């Protein structure tokens, strides 16, 4: 079953076009990463899905309903980001009580255990927490609510590396035990690539890629060797990224090679390797020319 259907959706803020004619479907019970460079419209897209802002044109459906001002969508969705606000007078314990009343699938025991593990005292008021601790608190609400559609917009902002690892592990464990549709955006794609099933890559106001992590990785290949050996490939239109340190070159290219061609490359001393999801993402969204290296050349 499809949980989110997006057809020809366009969204602008005044004269600035954020998303243009985007289309995709997200299936039930998948963990999808929303990735893209800063300011490409990841948050805007997720806010439209949560019904927080309206689409300008096109059709967006969540649980077969228009999410804007929709009580069914709101009842089955939780949106976690670092701008969540809670009443200043309420403690963590009070907020968990409210969550229990509002979210049908809320697991209060899990929320309490996670907050104890994270060192959050139940009598603490969230507004006095540090940025990292506040992000942990928000993440706990996201996990424990077990909403059929759970949206995390850069949930690890402010968390240190250890806590981020714990969060991803907790999310994965709970997702396996209680499958649901999860959207997760993060700048640390290298940290979440083993977690994600699908990736939705937004670039230049459109969806550049939507598919499995493996499909994304298989689109590219990395060749490493001396400039002399890679000279034939460097001028190819398939080159996505080129890095040169002295005479040693690293090329990230579109993968159009056959196994026989790889064998020839290896015999010629060219090192062939698969790209990580992060490299594939950088390759798709970065510039082959005019990159940061050119600033120093």
Q: Which residues bind to another protein, rule: CB under 8 A?
A: 1, 3, 28, 43, 47, 50-54, 63, 69-72, 74-76, 79, 81, 83-87, 89-90, 94, 98-99, 101-104, 148
In this structure, the number of other CB atoms found within 10 A of the CB of residue 55 comes to: 21
Comparison of 83 and 260: residue with beta carbon closer to another protein: 83
Taking phi over 0 as left and psi of -120 to 50 as alpha, with beta for the rest, 36 belongs to left
In the bound complex, what is the minimum distance in angstroms from residue 36's beta carbon to another protein?
16
Maximum CA extent, the chain: 69
What gap in Å lies between CA 230 and CA 160, rounded to an integer?
40
Q: Tokens for 118, please give them.
A: 């994270």
In the bound complex, what is the minimum distance in angstroms from residue 283's beta carbon to another protein?
29
Comparison of 84 and 272: residue with beta carbon closer to another protein: 84
Comparison of 25 and 293: residue with beta carbon closer to another protein: 25
Comparison of 73 and 159: residue with beta carbon closer to another protein: 73
In the bound complex, what is the minimum distance in angstroms from residue 284's beta carbon to another protein?
26
Q: Which of 24, 105, 98, 22 is nearest to 58 (CA)?
A: 22
Sorted by sequence, the CB contacts under 8 Å of residue 87 that are 6+ apart come out as: none
In the bound complex, what is the minimum distance in angstroms from residue 25's beta carbon to another protein?
15
How far is the CA of 217 from the CAs of 102, 272, 274, 280, in angstroms?
A: 40, 14, 7, 6
Q: Which of 118, 119, 121, 175 is nearest to 145 (CA)?
A: 175
In the bound complex, what is the minimum distance in angstroms from residue 84's beta carbon to another protein?
5
Comparison of 18 and 35: residue with beta carbon closer to another protein: 18
CB burial string 126-138: b at 16+ within 10 A, e below? beebeebbbbbbb
In the bound complex, what is the minimum distance in angstroms from residue 293's beta carbon to another protein?
32
Strand partners, 180: none
Comparison of 80 and 192: residue with beta carbon closer to another protein: 80
């Amino acid at each position: 079953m499809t949980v989110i259907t997006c057809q020809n959706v366009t969204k602008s803020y005044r004269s600035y076009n954020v998303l243009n004619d985007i289309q995709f479907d997200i299936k039930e019970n998948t963990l999808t990463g929303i990735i893209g460079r800063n300011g490409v419209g990841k948050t805007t897209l997720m806010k439209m899905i949560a019904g927080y802002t309206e689409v300008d044109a096109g059709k967006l459906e969540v649980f077969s309903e228009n999410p804007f001002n929709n009580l069914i969508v709101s009842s089955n969705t939780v949106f976690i980001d670092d701008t969540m606000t809670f009443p200043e007078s309420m403690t963590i314990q009070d907020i968990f009580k409210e969550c229990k009343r509002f979210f049908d699938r809320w697991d209060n025991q899990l929320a309490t255990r996670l907050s104890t593990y994270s060192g959050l005292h139940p009598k603490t008021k969230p507004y006095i927490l540090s940025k990292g601790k506040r992000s942990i608190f928000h993440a706990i609400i996201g996990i424990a609510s077990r909403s059929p559609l759970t949206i995390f917009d850069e949930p690890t902002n402010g968390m240190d590396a250890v806590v981020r690892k714990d969060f991803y592990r907790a999310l994965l464990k709970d997702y396996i035990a209680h499958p649901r549709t999860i959207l997760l955006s993060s700048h640390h794609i290298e940290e979440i690539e083993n977690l994600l099933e699908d990736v939705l890559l937004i670039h230049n106001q459109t969806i550049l890629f939507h598919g499995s992590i493996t499909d994304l990785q298989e689109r590219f290949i990395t060749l490493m060797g001396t400039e002399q050996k890679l000279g034939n490939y460097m001028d190819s239109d398939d080159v996505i990224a080129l890095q040169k340190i002295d005479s040693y070159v690293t090329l990230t290219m579109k993968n159009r090679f056959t196994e026989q061609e790889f064998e020839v490359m290896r015999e010629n001393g060219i090192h062939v390797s698969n790209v990580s999801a992060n490299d594939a993402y950088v390759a798709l969204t970065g510039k082959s020319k005019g990159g940061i290296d050119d600033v120093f050349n």
